[in-house]
A = this chain, B = another copy of it.
């Protein structure tokens, strides 16, 4: 069954859970791994991230969309383009709890964004028990996350739940990703903080191949590394080259 959880708190057991926080945690995790960070430690709060500060780690995180005080980076994906260390510690308020909840209920947890949507769909090819987990924002459903869930669901084969079809109808409603992101509640806080360029950045589709996958929990944080490239990814990549 292809299913969608509209909120990170609505996770159910599944073979593969795909956590989605388009603006911006899952986009930042994806781009960090694609840019050369070897590991991303996703913490549930800025305090939890600070406790993980150590040599070889760069701290990224936000408070109300703006860079958290004392942190090396904010939560803009572009800030990860040039890795400073092997590890990135990322504090997020919505993405991290969703990943932790998914880890408790799913055999495998992947992280999806528009930036790697093609690679995510390649990873999911053939999987029959997929739960697309929309992180949401502070307990409210986020349109941009459900939009991406619908985009992914529409590419997968097999039976799907009503929730998956609802997400697919939203994806069909917005032919261009940027329109869904611009219309979302998640965009409001970014505009307020002068970070509207992040919206356009996160709306780019399949610009990288890296797909974050949960390896283990480390001191309460989710350790994400790049999943091995699948045969179907390799085939698609050769087809495109």
How many Å lie between the Cα of A183 and that of B169 in the bound state?
A: 12
0 or 1 for each of A143-168: is its CB under 8 Å from B? (1 = yes)? 10010000000000000011101110
Interface SS of chain A: helix, strand, loop or mixed?
helix
The yes or no answer to A46 lying at the interface (CB within 8 A) is no
A124 at the interface (CB under 8 A from B): no
Report which residue of A4, A163, A172 has the largest number of chain B beta carbons within 10 angstroms of its beta carbon.
Answer: A163
Residue A10 lies at the interface, judged by CB distance under 8 Å to chain B: yes
* A185 contacts B by Cβ under 8 Å: yes
- Which of under 10, 10 to 19, 20 to 34, or 35 or more describes the interface residues of A? 20 to 34
Residues in B with CB closer than 8 Å to A146 are 162, 166
Which of B169, B174, B183 contacts A170, CB < 8 Å?
Answer: B169
Chain A 171-196 per-residue mask, 1 if CB under 8 angstroms from chain B, else 0: 01110000000011110000000000
The answer, yes or no, to whether A53 is at the interface (CB within 8 Å) is: no
Kindly report which residue of chain B lies nearest to residue A141, judged by CB atoms. B163
Contact A166 B162 (CB under 8 A): no
Is there an interface contact between A6 and B172, defined as CB atoms closer than 8 Å? no
B165 touches A143 (CB 8 A): yes
- Contact status B170-A142, CB under 8 Å: no
Find chain B residues with CB under 8 A from A172 CB. Answer: 169, 173
Judged by a CB distance under 8 angstroms, whether A140 is at the interface is yes
Interface residues of A (CB under 8 A from B): 4, 6-7, 10, 140-143, 146, 161-163, 165-167, 169-170, 172-174, 183-186
Instruction: List 19 contacting pairs A-B, 8 Å CB cutoff, sorted by A.
Output: A4-B141, A10-B10, A141-B161, A141-B162, A141-B166, A143-B162, A143-B165, A146-B162, A161-B185, A162-B184, A162-B185, A165-B183, A166-B170, A169-B169, A169-B172, A169-B173, A169-B174, A172-B173, A173-B173
